[in-house]
Amino acid sequence: MKFPALASALFLALVPSWSHAEAPESALLGCWRAVNIVQHYKSGSKAEDASGRCTLHFKLGQFRTSLIGTTREYQYSIAGDRLKTAIEFQPAEPVAPSVTVRVETEAVRMACP
């Protein structure tokens, strides 16, 4: 998969449930740019995107990404100006080796536009 398609596919998986739930914690507020996205496939292979094209924007009661996707819950941790996220996909049925089973993202805080 080429990187523009990869970046889109990866961030499609990272839109969390905050857009429909309570406001994110205050440490998440502001803007973040993804500096590295790693997509893990069922086959064990992985693809990385370090283009910095994808962004996250957290406001009280609102969450927005630069790409549109589905709602998902994921784990995250914040260390200073670094945000790390991870999501595990649990398919209900057996899947092909080319199916994404985990996505990890590392982002840095940035000035909001």
| pLDDT digit string, tens, across residues 81-106 | 999 988 887 777 888 889 888 899 99
Of 7 and 19, the structure prediction assigns the larger pLDDT to: 7
Q: Dihedral of CA 54/57/61/62: which sign?
A: negative
Pairing of strands 55-59, 75-79: unpaired
Is residue 77's pLDDT more than 50? yes
**CB of 69 closer than 8 Å to CB of 52:** no
Q: Which structure tokens are listed for 74? A: 């994921």
